Amino acid sequence: MVTVLNHPLITHKLTFMRMQETGHKDFRENLDEIASLMAYEVCRDLPLKDVEITTPMAECTSQILDTEVILVPILRAGMGLVDGIMDLIPTAKVGFIGLYRDEKTLEPVEYFAKFPKELPEGVCLVLDPMLATGGSAIAAVDMIKKRGAKNIKMVCLVGAPEGVKAFTEAHPDVDLYLAALDDHLNDIGYIVPGLGDAGDRIYGTK
Ligand code: PRP
Ligand code: URA
């Protein structure tokens, strides 16, 4: 399932992220706020369990989350989505995948992996602002599936149609959430209109 979260607040904040004159501080702040808004929708189907509680008025049955949530940012740019989601799910655990895209081949190259032990039982939210060719997202989901992850959602900010096609063909069992579906990839693998290089814009490199 592919869900494009066409929400006015998300679209408004994303417009400021796209503008080339937006500096890294404002870019990061808008990304953080969008991450929280996306988390609200992405977590809509998390499982709940009954608990017996006592309010000031009476005993009753109420519900709390019945799963570990594991955030898996793809380094570097995926880190930009972590804090905004953590604001809503402060008990979330975090695993890390280090991948970069080789600038010539556009193939993802793995350089780091570290996950909490609950990875196989939890709901894993794999985070990366950009889904361009889809190579990095596909490799990241391959990596956590190999380590036993079963319940996986892929959360991206901007996707290209080429990346959406590749990802959904490679991992038809993984729900994909986007804040926006853009027009196309250019000949060096950048999303158009996109927002440029997300990692560089978050961290002020280049
Ligand atoms: C960017 C982005 C994705 C990847 C998307 O990362 O954050 O991880 O490219 O491209 P793809 O869909 O074609 O694989 P980059 O390799 O620039 O690394 P960075 O996050 O360290 O900047
Ligand atoms: N990675 C980015 O950061 N931006 C793009 O447009 C494509 C890949």
pLDDT tens across 45-100, in order? 999 999 999 999 999 999 999 999 999 999 999 999 999 999 999 999 999 999 88
Q: Residue 205 region, left (φ>0) first, then alpha (ψ -120 to 50), else beta?
A: beta
Residue 105 DSSP SS3: coil
**Which ligand is closest in space to the CA of residue 101?**
1
Considering the chain, what percentage of its residues have pLDDT values greater than 90?
Answer: 93
Q: Which parts of the chain are beta strand (E)?
A: 2-4, 48-54, 59-65, 69-75, 93-94, 96-101, 108-114, 123-127, 130-131, 151-159, 175-181, 184-185, 191-192
Instruction: Return the ligand 2 atom nearest residue 201 CA.
Output: 3
Q: 106 C-alpha vs ligand 1 centroid, how far in Å?
A: 9
Q: 136 C-alpha vs ligand 1 centroid, how far in Å?
A: 7
Q: 133 C-alpha vs ligand 1 centroid, how far in Å?
A: 9
Which residue has its alpha carbon closest to ligand 1 atom 15?
100
- State the pLDDT confidence band at 150, using cuts at 50, 70 and 90: very high
Q: 160 C-alpha vs ligand 1 centroid, how far in Å?
A: 13
CB 141 within 8 A of CB 126: yes
pLDDT confidence of residue 103 = 81
User: φ and ψ at 109, to 5 degrees?
Assistant: -120, 125
- State the pLDDT confidence band at 206, using cuts at 50, 70 and 90: confident
Percentage helix, strand, coil for the chain under 3-state DSSP, each rounded to 5: 35, 30, 35
Ligand 1 pocket (Cβ < 6 Å) reads 74, 76-77, 100-101, 106, 108, 128-137, 163, 189, 197-199
Quick check: CB of 190 below 6 Å from ligand 2? yes
H or E element in which residue 53 lies:
strand 48-54
- pLDDT, tens digit, for every residue of 29-59? 999 999 999 999 999 999 999 999 999 999 9
